[in-house]
Amino acid sequence: MLANYDTLTASEKRIADYMLHHTAEATTLNASEIAERCSTSNTTVTRFVKELGFESFSQLRLNLARETARETVPQSDDVSFSSFESSVRLVLRNKIAELNETVVNLDVDALKDAVQVIVHSDNVLVAGVGTSLSFAQMFALKLSHVGVKAVSSASIDAEMVLAQLYSTEDCIIFVSNSGSSRRLSTLMGIAQDASIKTIAITGNGESPIAQAADISISVVRRDRMLTPDFDSSHNALNFIADVIVTLLFHMNQDASEYIRLFHKTFGEEKNEMGEEQGQSEQGVSPLRVQQENTS
């Protein structure tokens, strides 16, 4: 339901919302009762079932019952400061469910193809906009740790400039919760004109970015169950990124050396900062120590 949510009609979304928020009760109702509670028709319920890939409502209800049986954390449908502990557990339950459902619905062949494209690309640009921009930058840094020549710019404008310099030997990874950004679509057009290989990792497999990419990987988002109309999390996107980076680490014999060099470079800086902090805590000014050493 969550994987296909954005492609549903308004009446079908009412059914999905009801079944997601009243899961235990929904497993005891028939199609007519669901239609009545959602102020819609039996025909719409049937269409909803087919849209999700089930042959009948009873088959959907059975799978929903099995999903409910696996839930071990006490149920709660509300997030509030007054019920702090149950709110934390609710967020945790939904984040775990996001990952489980992402794996269940994962196109493994597409993921394999994406890893192979990254391995054989001279340069990799990771592109995102809005809240996905910082995630793209983090993803590019992780890729560089395992020997991939990956970058992510500070803005979509800079990404478009970089894309103009890329060739058929390079690839662009698009990361987006919605997959509907106009600016990412413009960047996708630049990539297609230059025959640059493209990979899309989105929360909507039917989005323009996902449909236009050479390789599309879809994830499941549960943000709207917690924060309606606000896709705040990159939980599932980050999981796919971590899977890719982990696979690349084990595929690249030099990956351990890249990481060793990274820790050597930045580890010294961290140690220096730690020493300065220790001296400061002991009442010795780091600036004074530096001056004395200079003298």
Please report where in the chains the tokens 């149920």 appear, as a residue: 75
Burial of 171 (0-12, 13-18, 19+ CB in 10 A): buried
Q: Residue 200: what are its φ and ψ, rounded to 5°?
A: -115, 130
Nearest CA to 129 out of 204, 70, 180 is that of 180
CA 97 to CA 223: how far, in whole Å? 11
Residues of the chain with pLDDT under 50: 72-76, 280, 284-292, 294-295
Model pLDDT, residue 270: 56
- Give the model's pLDDT for residue 90: 82
pLDDT tens digits, one per residue of 191-210: 999 999 999 999 888 899 99
